[in-house]
């Protein structure tokens, strides 16, 4: 048993533990015993990622990014890939790329003051984290890792819940009434706590509750809560007081080159 522990510790030492406070979620929504490490991607992972890459196929690109993360993360006991908050997935992916390539990721931008082309490094030092004011932080429950506002408990969805909903909508795509699913709101995703998956029946019930059963007043409160915390998970960098939107600046197709 001790030998196995020594081997496991040795393997972890070769990997990189992620500081949860440096993730876009700032670690606010993970339990105290949640820990995550990343490891270098294998050449097979990279080949699979790059094979027949079509940047116009957004869903395909998203799945490639998720696959890299899923295959190259290690968790503390009791946790798994589905427990990752979806807002943190791209950050983890880029950290895996940096670890694998053993170099930083530089993003070019135009300095708004000088008009010159410059570079900014994608890292926690330059990441533009959400600014949550003191008033909002007073509603944060450190025990449950949620914001409790007007009786509603806010927490961004886990990737497992997001995948459950995606699979559900795909299964409904050929139904006669499939178009109505595009009209529903899915605000319930932000009020599921640490739930990491949803069954089709659960999704149907939540759609019913949040679209038909809930009062207009509560629906507005829920929408206001989501909007007030919408900056959590937005990806931008800052350098010399300038904010750089990176969503269209990272070339995911050539990220491994």
Residue 145 shares a structural domain with residue 84: no
In a domain, 236, yes or no: no
User: How many domains would you assign to the chain?
Assistant: 2
Domain co-membership, 13 together with 95: yes
**Residue 172 within a domain:** yes
Burial class (CB in 10 A: 0-12, 13-18, 19+), 156: buried
pLDDT on residue 42: 94
Q: What is the pLDDT of residues 114-165, one digit of tens each?
A: 888 889 999 999 999 999 999 999 999 999 999 999 999 999 999 999 999 9
CA dist 205 and 151 (Å) reads: 20
pLDDT digits (tens, 9 = 90+) for 186-203: 999 999 999 999 999 999
Rounded to two decimals, the pTM is: 0.91
Give yes or no: residues 11 and 89 share one domain.
yes
As a whole number of angstroms, the distance between CA 197 and CA 214 comes to 22
Domain span at residue 196 reads 134-228
Together in a domain, 168 and 78 = no
| pLDDT computed for residue 9 by the predictor | 54
Q: Are residues 85 and 169 in the same domain?
A: no
Residues 218 and 174 in one domain: yes
Residues 138 and 210 both lie in one domain: yes
Kindly state the average pLDDT of the residues 28-49: 96
* pLDDT band, residue 247 (cuts 50/70/90): confident
């Amino acid at each position: 048993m001790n030998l196995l522990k020594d081997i496991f510790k040795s393997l972890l030492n070769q990997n990189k533990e992620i500081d949860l406070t440096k993730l876009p979620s700032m670690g606010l929504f993970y339990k105290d015993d949640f820990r995550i490490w990343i490891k270098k991607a294998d050449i097979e992972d990279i080949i699979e990622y790059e094979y027949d890459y079509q940047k116009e196929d957004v869903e395909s690109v998203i799945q490639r990014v998720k696959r890299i993360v899923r295959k190259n993360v290690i968790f503390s006991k009791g946790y798994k890939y589905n427990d990752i908050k979806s807002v943190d997935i791209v950050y983890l992916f880029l950290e895996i790329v940096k670890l694998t390539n053993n170099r930083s990721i530089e993003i070019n931008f135009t300095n708004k003051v000088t008009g010159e082309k410059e570079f900014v490094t994608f890292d926690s030092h330059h990441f533009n984290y959400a600014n949550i004011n003191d008033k909002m932080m007073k509603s944060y429950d450190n025990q449950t890792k949620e914001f409790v506002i007007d009786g509603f408990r806010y927490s961004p969805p886990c990737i497992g819940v997001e995948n459950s909903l995606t699979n559900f909508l795909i299964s409904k795509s050929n139904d006669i009434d499939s178009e109505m699913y595009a009209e529903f709101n899915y605000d319930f995703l932000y009020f599921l706590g640490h739930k990491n998956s949803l069954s089709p029946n659960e999704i149907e019930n939540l759609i019913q509750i949040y679209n038909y059963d809930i009062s207009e007043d509560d629906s507005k409160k829920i929408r206001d809560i989501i909007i007030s915390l919408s900056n959590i998970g937005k990806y931008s960098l800052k350098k010399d007081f300038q904010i750089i939107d990176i969503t269209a600046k990272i070339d995911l197709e050539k990220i491994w080159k």
